[in-house]
Amino acid sequence: MSRSEACSTKSYEGQMLPLDSTQESASMTSSRYNGFELLIFDWDGTIVDSLSKIAACTQASLRDVGLPPADDEKIRRSIGLGLRETVEAFCPDCTDDDFDAIVEAYRKRWFSDFSRKSTVFPGVRETLEELSRRQYLLAVATAKGRQGLNLELEASGLEPLFVASRTVDEALAKPNPQMLLDLMDETGTTPDQTVMIGDTPHDLQMALNARTVGIGVTTGTYDSPELEEYDPVVVLTGVAELVPWMDSR
């Protein structure tokens, strides 16, 4: 039985899974950090500088369907959740018809106007290349759909560096641990060999739920104190700091 199959449906439905007293926190001992094998990265706000484009696309989509604009900060802070949760964060009174219209308008707008405009953060490409050279397994866990991720992986030139990926088209949305559980199953790794790197509390809560180590980066909307509430082993200013931090362990 796979790790994801072993988790009951009830445990998935809970989303915010607490650490029980028999489980060691991923940040308790430094001796485990030398055993990293699988490094899983969020995409938007972690690998690529795309949050302002996502917010702009969302605002354009709301105009397209005749709805009033939303608060940009609410949009940015909802990035990384599932589609339903994201829309509800900035449009809590939306009907099901509104939701369907916004999602369809967003997809059209993104692929026509925004999908190839995201840029990789400085130093990220070199960091991923170095980690790959050191034979770490690199993967992506993202709230993007499969088509969107594939387009950006190809456009960025980063696709060859990743051995696996999961999107909301194949797994339950963050902070549910299914993306991480599936990636560990696919790569034959265990939670204590796995690190989740991301810019949101959703990423770090997902790491806690999957019993993996979490690392926060402040290249998104959230600052260090906000991310530290989710027990990451460290909060870095960006992915480009990852190799020096690992070398210092």
At residue 20, the pLDDT reads 41
Residue ranges making up the domain that contains 66: 51-114
Query: Taking the alpha carbons of 76, 81, 85, 87 in that order, is the dihedral positive or negative?
Result: positive
Q: Which residue from 182, 169, 176, 178 is spatially nearest to 205, judged by alpha carbons?
A: 176
Domain assignment of residue 7, yes or no = yes
Confirm if 200 and 192 have CB atoms less than 8 A apart.
no
* Dist. CA 235–CA 214, nearest whole Å: 9
Q: Are residues 107 and 78 in the same domain?
A: yes
Give the pair of three-digit tokens for residue 11.
């445990």
CA 81 to chain centroid: 9
133 is a domain residue: yes
Q: Would you say residue 187 lies in a domain?
A: yes
d(CA 141, CA 122): 20
Pairing label, strands 164-166, 137-141: parallel
d(CA 221, CA 199): 7
Which of the following is catalytic: 20, 42, 72, 247? 42
For the chain, list residues with pLDDT below 70. 1-34, 115, 117
pLDDT at residue 188 in the model: 97
Tokens of 38: 């699988």
How many other C-beta atoms can be found within 10 angstroms of the C-beta atom of residue 5? Answer: 9
pLDDT the model gives residue 118:
73
Q: What is the rounded CA–CA span in Å between residue 201 and residue 229?
A: 8
Same domain, 44 and 105: no
Residue indicated by tokens 């265990």: 190
Q: Which residue, of 79, 98, 114, is where some domain finishes?
A: 114
Query: Are residues 59 and 160 located together in one domain of the fold?
Result: no
Residues 6+ apart with CB under 8 A from 234: 215, 216, 245
Q: From 114, 142, 158, give the residue that closes a domain.
A: 114
Catalytic-labelled residue, pool 44, 49, 182, 231: 44
Q: Classify residue 151: in a domain, yes or no.
A: yes
Q: Report how many domains make up the chain.
A: 2
Q: Is 44 a catalytic residue?
A: yes
Pair 158, 232 in one domain: yes
Strands 234-236 and 213-217: parallel
Same structural domain for residues 125 and 240? yes
Chain segment 33-72, per-residue pLDDT in tens: 468 999 999 999 999 988 778 888 888 888 888 888 888 8
Listed residues 114, 135, 160: the one ending a domain: 114
> Taking Cα atoms as reference points, which of 78, 83, 82 lies closest to residue 101?
83
Q: What is the pLDDT of residue 207?
A: 98
For the whole model, what pTM was predicted? 0.79
The pLDDT assigned to 35 comes to: 87
- The strands making up 213-217's β-sheet, listed across from edge to edge, are 164-166, 137-141, 38-41, 194-198, 213-217, 234-236
126 lies in the same domain as 100: no
Q: Quick one: pLDDT at residue 31?
A: 34
Residues 142 and 83 in one domain: no
Known catalytic residue at 231:
no
